[in-house]
Structure 1
Amino acid sequence: MCERHRTHPVVTEPHAETRAPGPAGTCRPADARREVERAIDACCRAARTRCDAHAVEDAQLVVSELTTNAILHGGGVTDFHVDVVGHGVRVCVSDASDRLPVTRPPVDPRGRRRVDGRGWPIVCRLARDVQVSDLPSGGKCITAVLPLF
């Protein structure tokens, strides 16, 4: 798990003051990346400020990793939304699995370098807050908040 982030079971779905839901059935990382870019761009235009390109890229990378992990390990994306809250962007990706994300060592038991297993550490490193919540209908929702400025 992410040592510096809270990871705990909760039986409620995340709330959002300003919600920019992805299209129904969003399950591809590319769709999620576009939704993140749109939400951040709309917020920056409304505030008449310039978006930090690195912050947008970080948010896109995190949402790409979360959606890819949901597809590969969680039975697919069951819900996705993004909101801009204060000076951060919050992405929420839900899947059908109750299994918690894990960090795997970079080397397998035989001493060979793994080619996978880097997504969760990337999410934990870039996000300022990560929460994993159990959903009432089963599965989980991973929420990551990243700084925008």
Structure 2
Amino acid sequence: MHLDPRLAHQLLLRVDPGRVHGGRAAGLRDGALLSLVAAGLSAAEIVALQATAITMNESKVQLAIHRRGITWVATLPTDLGAWLLAWLTESRLWAEPEPLFRGPRGPLTPAAIHQFLKRYRTRPTKPARRKKTKKKKAPST
């Protein structure tokens, strides 16, 4: 199944960067993963991506991607690179020779990437929570 970069760009609007799951910054991870799909990477390229393949050059985020036996360098747009930088910083993966994304049983698989996108596509958008306020009783005279 082909990953649609335009759809990933739209799904980025649904990401809550403050969402935490199991003590990990799940919202930042989701945003970073969607930003890589929006940049045009395939599921196989995303799961093979190591933290050491991400660098900063002249204030731009660059990825070293292995595609068809050749290593390509891709520069991410600022909005997509920001998600990746936030995830790298929060997860403390800078320059570590580890997979960028891990599941509970190890590195993510391409099937897990597709399942993740399917879940985000079908997840209903949550309305903003309204703060409950107590109504003051009118003083009786």
Q: TM-score, structure 2 length as denominator?
A: 0.32
Q: Which has the higher helix share?
A: 2
Larger radius of gyration: 2
Structure with the bigger RCO (C-alpha within 8 Å, sep 6+) is 1
- Would you tell me which structure has more strand in proportion to its own residues? 1
